[in-house]
Amino acid sequence: MTLSPIIYNQGFMFVRWTHAARSPLFVFAVPAFLAALSTQPALGAGADAFVLWEAWPHTVEVSPIALKHEELRVRLAAIAARYPGLFSIAEEGVSAEGRKIPLLVVGSGPTTILLWSQMHGDEPTATSALLDILEYLGRTQKTPDTERLVSRLTLAIIPMLNPDGAARTRRTNAQGIDVNRDALRLQTPEGRFLKSVRDRLKPSVGCNLHNHSPNVTAGKHGRQVAISLLSVPFDDAFTVNEGRRTTMRMAVLVQQLLEPWAKDRVARYDMDYTARAFGDSMTRWGTPTLLIESGGFFGPDEANTLVRLDFVAILGTLHALADGSLAKVDFKAYDAIPLTTRDRLFDVLVRNARVIGGGGLPPYLADVGLNVASARPGFSGSSPRGTRGGVTEVGDLTDFLGKTEIDLSGRLLVVAPPGGEDGWKKALASLAAHGLATADGFLTVSESNLSAEAKAWLGGAAPLAPGYGGDFLVLVPAGAGRFRVERRISPVGP
């Protein structure tokens, strides 16, 4: 019997069938600035969001995770050449391994907004979005909206704070330190540079841009989260002052901006306070901060969809700061944004199967949740970054969701022999030699005997349990006590 792969569910090879898928911080406005904004005319965020969505330049053709320090510098030079005077490099920090960290300055307005991305080296979505924003501002620099933005705001942008981590596609810097947890000791050169920029510029708004695991839902039974938000606290009491009301408004605005494309996919983090984290410290130091993290968007071109959402969220927010519409957003709506929920979403969720797990036990009814082996192109997963692939949970998973769900009611889910198709051919030949399979590939074995056979072909390897990383065979009854292999399920990424 030949097992042939096909693409399942919009381009993600989650299933192989037989022939027969803390962070951006936006800090906006001190009270006096908000009061001034409230006297300005509003543009209407909803209409602007559609304009921005259609105007997305998509300047970074490669996957965001493939954009490294050297190419970033080349792309910045190209934008500067296309649009002379659009931005300047105010200063450059130096990473632990000597890579230069540029601080770009756009605009000349009285209110400074600090935006920094990729302080975790494997969280690249917003870096590409910031390049798109620069390109967009260059293309539209003579329009009234962009002229207003750059005349009222000064954007201080660090597009890649941790280039050494980006080079390794890992969270930490070259010292092995999480830069986002170095706000107190300041032992990383990257952290010292960020702190020095904040202290010198004293920005009214900060924007710290990150990624989180794609397997997060908006509420216990909600959809996969595309963007998560947090009005970052500055003390253990979670005190709400005007700065935090501002970041709450920002969060509500982001949800509104993204509603047409990410309905029910925007969530907020449950609060905690960590003094050593840069977001919490920025707010404590006087730069209120909104955390924004890109999550996942299962389907075709997931990574670029997240970049586009970041582009609209960030640029739409900047326009709201410049035109005054932010002050009109109801900060009280922040609490209505659903909380993020982790560990309730699987890449593949197999439901209602009779399971033969390879331990020699009788079949039992169970659901199986598994994640697909992948480097998470374009964004990071939960720690450790990426996913090895394999089973995460077995049992009653009624309250869980799967990006891909397979109902195996009336079918057997059996651990497959190691070795892929060749391994199954050998196992099938052995079964046939013992009178347990026909020449045309039908199994003529009882469930109890099949359980013993499955244990044998695992050859002492661990049977099904959380952590199991092997393939599965799906068997369907074929009448007269026979079974046939319907498909293979494999935790193999695209």
Which of 342, 377, 412 delimits the end of a domain? 342
Which whole-number Å values give the CA distances from 319 to 52, 133, 137, in the listed order? 11, 12, 11
pLDDT of residue 31: 43
Considering just the CA atoms, what is the radius of gyration of the chain in Å? 26
Instruction: Examine the domain organization and report whether 142 and 194 are in the same domain.
Output: yes
Instruction: Examine the domain organization and report whether 217 and 96 are in the same domain.
Output: yes
Alpha helices in 277-388 (DSSP H): 278-285, 302-323
pLDDT of residue 285: 96
5 located within any domain: no
Lowest mean pLDDT among 40-54, 333-347, 379-393, 448-462: 379-393
Inform me whether the pLDDT recorded for 12 exceeds 50: no
pLDDT of residue 32: 46
57 or 45: which carries more pLDDT confidence? 57
Inform me whether the pLDDT recorded for 38 exceeds 90: no
Q: Do the Cβ atoms of 161 and 117 come closer than 8 Å? A: yes
CA atoms of 246 and 31, how far apart (whole Å): 8
Q: For 170-189, what is the mean pLDDT?
A: 96
**Residue 200 contacts by C-beta under 8 Å, 6 or more apart in sequence?**
none
423 or 72: which carries more pLDDT confidence? 72
Q: Does the model's pTM come out above 0.75?
A: yes
124-148 per-position pLDDT tens digit: 999 999 999 999 999 999 999 999 9
Tracing tokens 């995770």 back to the chain, one arrives at 65
**First and final C-alpha spacing in the chain:** 24
Tracing tokens 């049992």 back to the chain, one arrives at 395
Instruction: Examine the domain organization and report whether 414 and 312 are in the same domain.
Output: no
Q: Do the Cβ atoms of 21 and 9 come closer than 8 Å? A: yes
Measured in residues, the chain has a length of 494
373-432 per-position pLDDT tens digit: 765 544 444 333 445 689 999 999 998 999 999 999 999 999 999 988 888 888 888 888
How many structural domains are present in the chain? 2
67 located within any domain: yes
55 located within any domain: yes
Instruction: Examine the domain organization and report whether 366 and 275 are in the same domain.
Output: no
Closest CA to 16 of 24, 8, 27: 8
220 located within any domain: yes
Instruction: Examine the domain organization and report whether 364 and 261 are in the same domain.
Output: no
Strands 100-106 and 87-94: antiparallel
Instruction: Examine the domain organization and report whether 93 and 145 are in the same domain.
Output: yes
464 located within any domain: yes
25 located within any domain: no
pLDDT of residue 493: 56
SS3 for 208?
Answer: strand
Instruction: Examine the domain organization and report whether 213 and 353 are in the same domain.
Output: no
Inform me whether the pLDDT recorded for 474 exceeds 50: yes
pLDDT of residue 387: 59
CA atoms of 290 and 27, how far apart (whole Å): 5
Instruction: Examine the domain organization and report whether 325 and 406 are in the same domain.
Output: no
pLDDT of residue 331: 96
Can the peptide bond before residue 494 be classed as cis, meaning omega within 30 degrees of 0? no
Beta-bridged to residue 26, according to DSSP, are none
The per-residue DSSP string of 402-439 comes to EEEEEE-TT-EEEEPPSSHHHHHHHHHHHHHHTTSB-T
Q: For 12-18, what is the mean pLDDT?
A: 31
pLDDT of residue 48: 87
Q: ∠257-259-265 over CA atoms, to 5°? A: 115
Lowest mean pLDDT among 170-184, 325-339, 454-468: 454-468
Query: CATH number for the domain including 435?
Result: 2.30.40.10
Instruction: Examine the domain organization and report whether 172 and 266 are in the same domain.
Output: yes
pLDDT of residue 288: 94
pLDDT of residue 374: 64
How distant is the alpha carbon of residue 63 from its chain centre? Answer: 13
271 exposed, middle or buried (CB, 10 Å; 0-12, 13-18, 19+)?
A: exposed
Helix, strand, coil content of the chain in percent (nearest 5) = 35, 25, 40
53 located within any domain: yes
CA atoms of 264 and 215, how far apart (whole Å): 15
Query: CATH number for the domain including 232?
Result: 3.40.630.10
For the chain, give the mean pLDDT: 87
Inform me whether the pLDDT recorded for 45 exceeds 70: no
Tracing tokens 């919009």 back to the chain, one arrives at 10
Helices 144-152 and 302-323 sit at what angle, rounded to 10 degrees? 70
Q: Do the Cβ atoms of 26 and 290 come closer than 8 Å? A: yes
Which of 320, 342, 364 delimits the end of a domain? 342
106-130 per-position pLDDT tens digit: 999 999 999 999 999 999 999 999 9
What's the token pair of residue 195?
A: 């702190």
Instruction: Examine the domain organization and report whether 186 and 300 are in the same domain.
Output: yes
Question: Which of 200-214 are b and which e, b meaning 16 or more Cβ less than 10 Å from the residue's Cβ?
Answer: ebebbbbbbbbbbbb
Tracing tokens 């000349």 back to the chain, one arrives at 108
pLDDT of residue 126: 97
147: left (phi over 0), alpha (psi -120 to 50) or beta: alpha
pLDDT of residue 43: 42
Lowest mean pLDDT among 32-41, 48-57, 118-127, 443-452: 32-41
Dmax (CA) of the chain: 85
CA atoms of 475 and 353, how far apart (whole Å): 10
CA atoms of 127 and 399, how far apart (whole Å): 35
pLDDT of residue 24: 33
Instruction: Examine the domain organization and report whether 360 and 431 are in the same domain.
Output: yes
303-321 per-position pLDDT tens digit: 999 999 999 999 999 999 9
pLDDT of residue 425: 86
What's the token pair of residue 382?
A: 């939960």
Which of 342, 361, 386 delimits the end of a domain? 342
Range of the domain at 45: 31-342
Count of CB atoms situated within 10 Å of the CB of 438: 14
How many C-alpha atoms does 80 have within 13 Å on its Cβ side? 12
CA atoms of 203 and 111, how far apart (whole Å): 7
Q: How many secondary structure helices (H) and strands (E) does the chain include?
A: 12, 18
207 located within any domain: yes
Instruction: Examine the domain organization and report whether 363 and 263 are in the same domain.
Output: no
Beta-bridged to residue 369, according to DSSP, are 349, 393
CA atoms of 189 and 245, how far apart (whole Å): 32
Q: Taking the alpha carbons of 393, 396, 402, 407 in that order, is the dihedral positive or negative?
A: positive
pLDDT of residue 459: 86
